[in-house]
Amino acid sequence: MTPAGSYRPGDHPSVAGTVPPVYRRRLRFTFAAASLRAAVDLADALRRGSSSHVQVRPSAGRLLSSQLWDVIVTTRPALSLSAVARLWTDEMLHTAADHPGCELIGWKPIVTREG
């Protein structure tokens, strides 16, 4: 290492001094809503927050007489750390709790490689 902790290409364990790729993860959360109105209210709240993409669609498994709706949220890319996933999950649980008729039913990671 050079003085004061500065970086020199040969100091890093990566090949030929290149910077290793950074893995970023988006999280996709799915909510169930009991009505279209509940789904739209939840989607509006999520759009006002820090979520990057929010969709409202009829629930895939719904019967013709059912009024269930899915709200799907995809977060912005963030470092692939478990602490980030926990923070997002907590935020989504609190948001669902503030919206009667809505429930967080699951989430999945979408990992991308940069660099």
Task: Examine the pLDDT at 15 and tell me if it is beyond 50.
Answer: no
Taking the C-alpha atoms of residue 72 and residue 59, their distance in angstroms, rounded to an integer, is 11
Question: For residue 8, is it within any domain?
Answer: no
Query: What mean pLDDT is predicted for residues 9-21?
Result: 49
Question: For residue 18, is it within any domain?
Answer: no
**pLDDT tens, residue by residue, 16-58:** 455 555 677 889 999 999 999 999 999 999 998 776 799 999 9
Contact 78, 42 (CB under 8 A): no
Question: For residue 83, is it within any domain?
Answer: yes
End-to-end CA distance of the chain: 23
The pLDDT of residue 4 is 45
The pLDDT of residue 79 is 77
CB neighbours of residue 46 within 10 Å: 24
Question: For residue 103, is it within any domain?
Answer: yes
**pLDDT tens, residue by residue, 55-81:** 999 987 655 556 799 999 998 888 777
- Measured in whole angstroms, the distance separating CA 19 from the mean position of its chain's CA atoms is 26
Contact 69, 76 (CB under 8 A): no
- Going by the DSSP 8-state scheme, the letter that residue 52 receives in this structure is S
93 confidence band (pLDDT: 50, 70, 90): very high
Question: For residue 1, is it within any domain?
Answer: no
Question: For residue 78, is it within any domain?
Answer: yes
- Going by the DSSP 8-state scheme, the letter that residue 13 receives in this structure is S
Give me the number of domains the chain comprises.
1
CATH code, domain carrying 66: 3.30.70.120
The answer to whether the predicted template modeling score (pTM) of the entire model surpasses 0.85 is: no
Question: For residue 22, is it within any domain?
Answer: no
Question: Could you tell me the residue range of the domain that residue 71 belongs to?
Answer: 29-114
Question: For residue 20, is it within any domain?
Answer: no
